[in-house]
Chains A and B, each alone.
Chain A
Amino acid sequence: MATSFSRLLSSRRNLGILSLVGAGSVTAAFLLHREHVTAGVPVRRRYPASAEYPDLRKHNNCMASSLTPAIYSKLCDKATPNGYTLDEAIQTGVDNPGHPFIKTVGMVAGDEESYEVFADLLDPIIKERHNGYDPRTMTHPTDLDASKIQSGQFDDRYVLSSRVRTGRSIRGLSLPPACTRAERREVERVVVDALSGLKGDLKGKYYSLTQMTEQEQQQLIDDHFLFDKPVSPLLTCAGMARDWPDARGIWHNNEKTFLIWVNEEDHTRVISMEKGGNMKRVFERFCRGLKEVEHLIQERGWEFMWNPRLGYILTCPSNLGTGLRAGVHVKLPLLSKDARFSKILDNLRLQKRGTGGVDTAAVGGVFDISNLDRLGQSEVQLVQTVVDGVNYLIECEKRLEKGQDIKVPPPHQTGVGLV
């Protein structure tokens, strides 16, 4: 990252927009060296912090667990250089008390600097959400070398499809909760311009949500690529659906195996997928595509938001680090009915979802199985965890088919960042 940073300083920039961004990008430059981020002009209040402190008594989310009156008092008058405030960052958590069984994060970042200016609140949230990862003392490893993956080809009789997704944010532009229309349009311009430079199996086309034809829309729906205006109050209360569908769109390669969402919950969501169980190839294309896109935006003077303590910076603290969810749709009708299923998944550091994605139910014994962790381990480590874990689950399923017994594996151990 240090070399790309120096390249950034010396490369010719698109003066039109970057001269306007000015101070923000200079400030961003210091983040790599963990220097203090200058907060914006303090927000002036009519009421003391104690009168403004939210009522969180019925709340069950990470923000509510960590936001003490003392922390609120310390941070409520601060703003990031772009003017994003604490109240804006926590609004989604105040408006969505959560569920006794499902603990949401309850806070978002409006820009890269949010993670610095509001560190007193975000650091404990990150620690809770990411299994003890302490941003104050630890560093996050990034590794996009897909060649390191072993045994990454699953049994196609069980694994119906394989997918890896992550997000990337464009440094210097505010994130979806806070971005202005101009910034959002700039994200779209930068990304679409870069994607038009992809070649070979990555060559593809962009479909703007405001301009796609009826046929294009229908095709994207049939391919299960089309994303819609967020309806979840977790997202809408954070302001991410503003100005919909302005500057939103979908890009995918001609082969429909590499897909990018522009300006949905993050600046970009990058997805590599294919039918069947060749996770290694999916991950290889993922890494290759990401590196290509990064190279293309750097040529134009841009870069991704990243730093050594938090990895890739995304809107939701739950997606920091790798922002990576690698998963499969896999048939586990017998194993899923076994009482030990949840424990096995836990120990393998995997999670299950229904085949409609987060908060959906499984259909026909087919589950979406993916990594639990995002921060503190590299992309290669997480994908290997999924590969090893899914192979183990398939073994279990096969054993159960034969009437043999299965064993709960010991808790999965990996190195960096885990307590």
Chain B
Amino acid sequence: MAKNCHNDYKMKFSVDDEFPDLSLHNNHMAKVLTKDIYAKLRGKSTPSGFTVDDVIQTGVDNPGHPFIMTVGCVAGDEESYEVFKELLDPVISDRHGGYKPTDKHKTDLNFENLKGGDDLDPNYVLSSRVRTGRSIKGFTLPPHNSRGERRGIEKLSIEALASLDGEFKGKYYPLDGMTDAEQEQLIADHFLFDKPVSPLLTCAGMARDWPDARGIWHNENKTFLVWVNEEDHLRVISMQKGGNMKEVFRRFCVGLQKIEEIFKKHNHGFMWNEHLGYILTCPSNLGTGLRGGVHVKLPKLSTHPKFEEILTRLRLQKRGTGGVDTASVGGVFDISNADRLGSSEVEQVQLVVDGVKLMVEMEKKLEKGESIDGMIPAQK
């Protein structure tokens, strides 16, 4: 067990002296963390040496916004979710609609269970995408991992991805060492990820040693993409132009399962348990870690007074076309599932498929000057 000397030293100070000032904070961690919980957890550390102060640092440094509730804590390893349960269980419950410590999470990556999804109108749905994250068992997570571990993750990932073939045959581009031409192409394809600038990530230590052991892999068709060592060990993305979400999801499921098999063979399967599903760095991405979404033109519906309510009832969320925390451009929205934990991949993508189909029909109605009052869905 890696001993956290710094934490032992800290124990000499009182709880009152060490407890963070959260009086101006608005994030899940700040809402949950009491002095009692802090007192109980401060003496603990995971086997790799991650402590409660490491978990909460990002939430202490980023008080948040009155309108947007961030999570305010991260895991440093798989064991964090166990060792710091007293803090993380209530955070998870708040973030994931009341999910209880005794609840079980369903994993379903059987794409054949998805109904429809191949007929979203391409006049409205410009592109479809499904992403998730995966953590590799036996390594600590981006907030905590050492250079040696991060390089180990990269090495394993490169090996695994290199063995894919057929529609998944592709190439790895390490961030440090790509040519200018490669970089230009990756930017043009909207594939390149950059050093995190968001203080939510940097204060959690995820940008350390950049760009060491970071890289991007994608298949020749540019429809299946893996980010290595960004905010999670792996981010896996399936995407294509148009509205064939069914095909995107099929490729997503098949690709993921192929990759998982290879990691398992090396005795480094993915982090998963039946309570939290797939284990990722941020508690908001537990469960499926899945965000399935489309870029869809909804200029009329988006200005309708019931737009937000419709989204909520459909269990969907909107973002701008630049991703999280961006604005929509030209009435085009990024619409995706709001849930991650407590429902399966198939269920979440089904909600996107059904919900977007309905919203496109509403948009068409509004174009004709007709009312959509009769189409407002019940709460899903």
**Interface residue ranges, A against B (CB under 8 Å):** 20-22, 24, 40-41, 43-48, 51-55, 79, 81-84, 87, 91, 94-95, 178, 180-183, 185-186, 210, 236-237, 241-244, 246
Asked if B121 is at the interface (CB within 8 A of a chain A CB), the reply is no
CB pair B13 A180 closer than 8 Å: yes
A21 to B, closest residue via Cβ:
B12
Please report the C-alpha to C-alpha distance between residue A81 and residue B7 in the assembled complex, in whole angstroms.
12
Please report the C-alpha to C-alpha distance between residue A178 and residue B53 in the assembled complex, in whole angstroms.
13
CB pair B4 A83 closer than 8 Å: yes
The interface stretch among B68-76, B147-155, B253-261, B306-314 is B147-155
Minimum-distance CB pairs A-B, first 6? A83-B5, A47-B148, A83-B6, A182-B17, A182-B13, A51-B148
Given A47-B152, A83-B9, A242-B57, A181:B17 Cβ within 8 A? yes
Given A20-B12, A242-B60, A95:B6 Cβ within 8 A? no
Contact of A52 (CB < 8 Å), options: B3, B4, B5, B146: B146
Residues of chain B from 7 to 31 with CB closer than 8 A to chain A in the complex: 7-10, 12-14, 17-21
A231 to B, closest residue via Cβ:
B199
CB pair B17 A95 closer than 8 Å: no
What is the size category of the interface that chain B forms with chain A? 35 or more
CB pair A244 B61 closer than 8 Å: yes
Please report the C-alpha to C-alpha distance between residue A181 and residue B16 in the assembled complex, in whole angstroms.
10
Please report the C-alpha to C-alpha distance between residue A185 and residue B12 in the assembled complex, in whole angstroms.
14
Please report the C-alpha to C-alpha distance between residue A132 and residue B313 in the assembled complex, in whole angstroms.
70
When distances are taken between beta carbons in the complex, the residues of chain A under 8 Å from B317 are none
CB pair B13 A183 closer than 8 Å: yes
CB pair A40 B212 closer than 8 Å: no
**Interface residue ranges, B against A (CB under 8 Å):** 1-10, 12-14, 17-21, 53, 57, 60-61, 146-149, 151-152, 176, 202-203, 207-210, 212
Please report the C-alpha to C-alpha distance between residue A180 and residue B10 in the assembled complex, in whole angstroms.
7
When distances are taken between beta carbons in the complex, the residues of chain A under 8 Å from B6 are 79, 82-84, 178
When distances are taken between beta carbons in the complex, the residues of chain B under 8 Å from A45 are 146, 148
When distances are taken between beta carbons in the complex, the residues of chain A under 8 Å from B57 are 242
A174 to B, closest residue via Cβ:
B9
A-side binding surface: helix, strand, loop or mixed?
Answer: loop
B53 to A, closest residue via Cβ:
A180
CB pair A52 B20 closer than 8 Å: no
CB pair A51 B151 closer than 8 Å: yes
23 contacts between A and B (CB under 8 A): A21-B12, A22-B12, A41-B5, A43-B2, A47-B146, A48-B148, A51-B147, A51-B148, A51-B152, A54-B147, A54-B212, A79-B5, A82-B6, A83-B4, A87-B146, A95-B207, A180-B13, A181-B17, A186-B17, A237-B208, A241-B61, A244-B61, A246-B21
Please report the C-alpha to C-alpha distance between residue A241 and residue B209 in the assembled complex, in whole angstroms.
18
CB pair A44 B151 closer than 8 Å: no
B14 to A, closest residue via Cβ:
A182
What is the minimal beta-carbon distance from B32 to any residue of chain A, in angstroms?
18
What is the minimal beta-carbon distance from A147 to any residue of chain B, in angstroms?
42
B210 to A, closest residue via Cβ:
A95
CB pair A181 B18 closer than 8 Å: yes
Contact of B61 (CB < 8 Å), options: A55, A87, A242: A242
CB pair A82 B5 closer than 8 Å: yes
Given A83-B5, A243-B20, A243-B61, A54:B146 Cβ within 8 A? no
What is the minimal beta-carbon distance from B178 to any residue of chain A, in angstroms?
14
What is the minimal beta-carbon distance from B11 to any residue of chain A, in angstroms?
9
When distances are taken between beta carbons in the complex, the residues of chain A under 8 Å from B146 are 45-47, 52, 87
B18 to A, closest residue via Cβ:
A182
When distances are taken between beta carbons in the complex, the residues of chain A under 8 Å from B20 are 181, 243, 246
User: Quick one: which of A53, A94, A180 has the most chain B CB within 10 A?
Assistant: A180
When distances are taken between beta carbons in the complex, the residues of chain B under 8 Å from A55 are 176, 209, 212
When distances are taken between beta carbons in the complex, the residues of chain A under 8 Å from B12 are 20-22
What is the minimal beta-carbon distance from B45 to any residue of chain A, in angstroms?
12
When distances are taken between beta carbons in the complex, the residues of chain B under 8 Å from A95 are 207-210
What is the minimal beta-carbon distance from A230 to any residue of chain B, in angstroms?
12
Please report the C-alpha to C-alpha distance between residue A80 and residue B184 in the assembled complex, in whole angstroms.
45
Please report the C-alpha to C-alpha distance between residue A349 and residue B249 in the assembled complex, in whole angstroms.
67
Contact of B10 (CB < 8 Å), options: A40, A53, A182, A236: A182
When distances are taken between beta carbons in the complex, the residues of chain B under 8 Å from A20 are 12-13
What is the minimal beta-carbon distance from A202 to any residue of chain B, in angstroms?
29
Please report the C-alpha to C-alpha distance between residue A178 and residue B4 in the assembled complex, in whole angstroms.
13
B12 to A, closest residue via Cβ:
A20
What is the minimal beta-carbon distance from A170 to any residue of chain B, in angstroms?
15
- If A84-B6, A91-B209, A95-B210 are given as contacts, then 8 extra A-B residue pairs at C-beta distance below 8 Å, sorted by A number, are A43-B5, A44-B3, A45-B148, A52-B146, A91-B208, A178-B6, A181-B18, A246-B21
